[in-house]
Structure 1
Amino acid sequence: MQPKSSSNHNQISWQDGIAFFLILLFIYTAVSKLSDFDQFQRQMKLQTIPVWMQQILILFLPGVEIITGLLLAFTHTRLIGLYLSAILMTLFTGYVALVLINYFEQTPCSCGGVIKILGWKAHFVFNIFFLLLSILGIYIFNRERRTAWH
């Protein structure tokens, strides 16, 4: 077995750093929602989406965020976590984009923790940042895997 090159070591460090920040994001928001579950539930019920969808999101969103964080924490499940992170961030960013173009009559924020105090434009930039971080993580993970095979 050959030792890893220093460039490969840097890729692993980038991958770990990206995973770390995404884990912080998803675990923090999930714990914030669960710690004030009544408030999260009230905010979700104010969304202008069908009631059945509200119930699904109330029940599953914090759990999906925790699962995403856990998948990101382990190298052998990290790629799945990165894809799930990218999907979630795409959905969250899409919602904020619709808010910014005034698509909804009312726009409650059911985000967790301090994220809910961001204005919608700042929220959009925040989400884009984490979406791009997820995509970069997927790219680095796949590049590292291709390099390991050669």
Structure 2
Amino acid sequence: MKTITPHITTHFKRHSTTYLDALAVFCAAVLIFLFAQTALNKVLYHQVFSIQMGKQPLPSWSKPILVYALPVAEWTTVFLLCFPKTRVWGLLIATVLMFSYTVYAYLAYIEIYGKVVCACGKVFQDMGWQEHFYFNAKHTFVALVGFYFAYKSKTLKSKQKRE
């Protein structure tokens, strides 16, 4: 009696980069949706975002820089996530941004700074810091997993080209 296992194994080996790419694209799409919304909100309501950033417990010299740097970083990440050749970099940057936002949300949740206003935009408007932390943690995981899939696919493709 023949088993189907060898056929499945052969199929997955042959098409593994396709599956990895599809999973990376899914993760990228989730992050594109998130970063595009938050970045657009920061641009459209820039004055509100600037006021909210002014209330953050950050060094005063960093606030004017972050008011412009954060939307630029988020739009850059969206752009990088859109294209297969730059997706690995986009997912890496998304992971770093989401990890930073998660740490900040956790510190706000445990009230290390006291009561802090969220400057993230309308996506998080109705969330408390606890929900915000868990939301960010989940999206950090999505970014990290997406990075892994995209990186693994890229290394498998380069390995296949050498063979």
Q: How is 1:49-128 mapped onto 2 (pairs within 5 angstroms)? A: 49-128=58-137
Mapped contact 2:49–2:119 kept (Cα < 8 A) = yes
For 1:42, the equivalent position in structure 2 comes to 51
Q: Describe the SS at the equivalent of 1:52.
A: coil
Alignment check: 8 A CA contact 2:37 2:123 kept: no
How much does 1:11 deviate?
Answer: 1.7
Unaligned runs of at least 5 residues, structure 1: none
Matched to 2:37, the amino acid is: Y
What is the distance in 1 between the residues matched to 2:117 and 2:131? 15
Give the aligned residue type for 2:81: L
Shift of 1:138: 1.3
* CA shift digits 1:8-56 (9 cap, x unpaired): 3222211111111111111110001111111111110011212211111
Aligned residues with identical type, % of pairs: 32
Name whichever of 38-47 and 9-18 sits farther off: 9-18
Q: Which amino acid aligns with 1:92?
A: Y
Pairwise CA RMSD of aligned residues? 1.4
Q: Check whether the contact 2:105–2:133 (CA below 8 A) recurs between aligned residues.
A: yes
Query: 1:62: Cα distance to partner?
Result: 0.6
Q: What are the equivalent positions in structure 2 for 1:13-32 lying under 5 Å apart?
A: 13-32=22-41
Displacement over 4 Å in runs of 4+: none
* Matched positions, count: 147
Q: CA deviation at 1:66?
A: 0.3
Mark the runs of 5 or more structure 2 residues left unpaired by the alignment.
1-12
Distance, in Å, in 2 between the alignment partners of 1:48 and 1:142 is 36
